[in-house]
């Protein structure tokens, strides 16, 4: 095991897969000569050359479509979107083409593409650059949506996504790139669709994924000092969703808080709450509690932005409501 940043872990995954499979190529804005807008692809152009690491024009619809078409022909494109905010321009190619080609062709076609980039808010980037999109992509049958929360998971899951025969949406986070974590040595992958219990506990299950995992773990630590022992389930993949691990945890603890950083309405947490309440209705003593960001476009001003975002304090408050504990 070594300590790596999220960025380094992703870079290793890309490097290893580019080395392993000549059908893998990386394309996106600034991925080559600039070494990546967030330096995830640092050194890859030098090592693998311009055939494998390609700088694209700012044409999200066009180069995502290029990736979808190349994947349809059996290549394994990794398309970097500078942020998922910009991928809205490419949504037609993702939702209408990539997600549907296998079904519409009666199984004749497949689309082994990976589209990856940072999701969610960083700091003070205002409304157009501060949005969470995982639920939007998880809505479409045909896509897989992966949102890792640690460097080790990011590396193993990105390698799985690149090898996966179906279109994978892989979501990172600007603020996580510099975060560090222990990463196994050598070759490994992590299966898509498997949740991971990041903290074992008995009183309440906190469900999180992606960057929110750290918020959940921080909240759990604060609660531990108050004698409340939380279990943190890191979903890692939003679609397919590991319902089994989720339900088992809630059946053990008897309470559930779903944390997500995005907006409350119609977000992934709504689906997760639905699953938990139907599967665990008999043992829940309180409704599933959702902790989310505020239902507003992200404000620029720092104090307002802070108010708009979920944090460890809101997790603590949410768990106390779920457990009917007075603060």
Partner 1 sequence: MAQRKYPLADKLDREALLKMYRQLVLIRRFEERCAQQYSLQKIAGFCHLYIGQEAVAVGVEAAMRPDDYLVTAYRDHGQILARGTPAGPVMAELFGKATGVAKGKGGSMHLYDIPRHMYGGWGIVGAQIPLALGMAYASKYREEDRVTVCLFGEAAVNQGAFHEALNMAALWKVPAVFICENNRYGMGTPIKVSSAVTEVYKRAAAYDIPGEYCDGMDTLDTYEVVHKAVERARAGEGPTLIEARTYRFRGHSMSDPAVYRTREEVEEERKNDPIPKLRSYLIAKKHAKEKELDTIHEEVEVEVEESIRFADESPWPDPSELYTDVYVDPIWPEKVHA
Task: Give catalytic residue positions.
Answer: 60, 129
Contact present, 177 and 7 (Cβ < 8 Å): yes
Is 278 among the residues that bind partner 1 (CB under 8 A)?
Answer: no
Is 106 or 186 the residue whose CB approaches partner 1 more closely?
106
Least distance to partner 1 from the beta carbon of 162, Å?
14
Nearest to 261 by CA among 316, 206, 309: 309
| Binding letters toward partner 1, positions 124-163, x by CB under 8 A | -----------------xx-x-------------------
Q: Which letter does DSSP use for residue 89 in this model?
A: G
Is 64 among the residues that bind partner 1 (CB under 8 A)?
Answer: yes
Q: How far is CA 152 from the centre of its chain?
A: 13
Is 108 among the residues that bind partner 1 (CB under 8 A)?
Answer: yes
* Selected binder of partner 1 within 1, 74, 225, 327 (CB under 8 A): 74
Cα 264–Cα 196–Cα 100 angle in degrees, nearest 5? 60
* Selected binder of partner 1 within 15, 88, 193, 252 (CB under 8 A): 193
User: How many CA atoms lie within 13 Å of 270's alpha carbon, on the beta-carbon side?
Assistant: 11
Is 109 among the residues that bind partner 1 (CB under 8 A)?
Answer: yes
# residues contacting partner 1 (CB under 8 A): 44
Q: Which residues, listed in sequence order, are joined to residue 197 by a DSSP beta bridge?
A: 233
Question: Using N-to-C axis directions, what is the helix angle for 151-163 and 6-20, rounded to 10°?
Answer: 30
Paired sense of beta strands 204-208 and 256-259, if any: parallel
Sites of contact with partner 1 (CB under 8 A): 25, 51, 56-57, 59, 61-75, 77, 89, 92-93, 96-97, 101-110, 112, 141-142, 144, 165-166, 193, 240
């Amino acid at each position: 095991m070594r300590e790596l940043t999220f960025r380094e872990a992703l870079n290793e995954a890309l490097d290893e897969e580019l080395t392993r499979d000549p059908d893998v190529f990386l394309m996106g804005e600034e991925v080559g000569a600039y070494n990546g807008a967030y330096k995830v692809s640092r050194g890859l152009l030098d090592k693998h050359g311009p055939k494998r690491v390609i700088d694209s024009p700012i044409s999200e619809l066009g180069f995502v479509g290029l990736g979808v078409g190349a994947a349809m022909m059996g290549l394994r494109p990794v398309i970097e979107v500078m942020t998922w905010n910009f991928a809205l321009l490419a949504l037609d190619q993702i939702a209408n083409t990539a997600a549907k080609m296998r079904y519409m062709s009666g199984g004749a076609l497949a689309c082994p593409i990976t589209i990856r980039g940072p999701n969610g808010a960083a700091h003070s980037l205002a409304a157009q650059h501060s949005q969470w999109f995982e639920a939007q992509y998880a809505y479409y049958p045909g896509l897989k949506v992966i949102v890792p929360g640690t460097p080790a998971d990011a590396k193993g899951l990105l390698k799985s996504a690149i090898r996966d025969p179906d279109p994978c949406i892989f979501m990172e986070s600007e603020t996580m790139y510099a975060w560090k974590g222990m990463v196994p040595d050598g070759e490994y992958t992590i299966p898509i669709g498997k949740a991971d219990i990041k903290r074992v506990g008995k009183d309440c299950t906190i469900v999180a994924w992606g960057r929110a995992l750290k918020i959940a773990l921080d909240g759990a630590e604060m609660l531990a000092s108050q004698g409340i022992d939380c279990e943190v389930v890191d979903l890692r993949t939003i679609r397919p969703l590991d319902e089994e691990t989720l339900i088992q945890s809630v059946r053990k603890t008897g309470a559930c808080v779903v944390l997500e950083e995005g907006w409350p309405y119609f977000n992934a947490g709504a689906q997760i709450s639905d699953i938990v309440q139907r599967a665990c209705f008999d043992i829940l003593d309180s409704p599933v509690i959702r902790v989310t960001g505020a239902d507003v476009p992200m404000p620029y001003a720092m104090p307002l932005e802070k108010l708009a975002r979920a944090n460890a304090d809101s997790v603590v408050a949410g768990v106390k409501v779920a457990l009917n504990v007075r603060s």
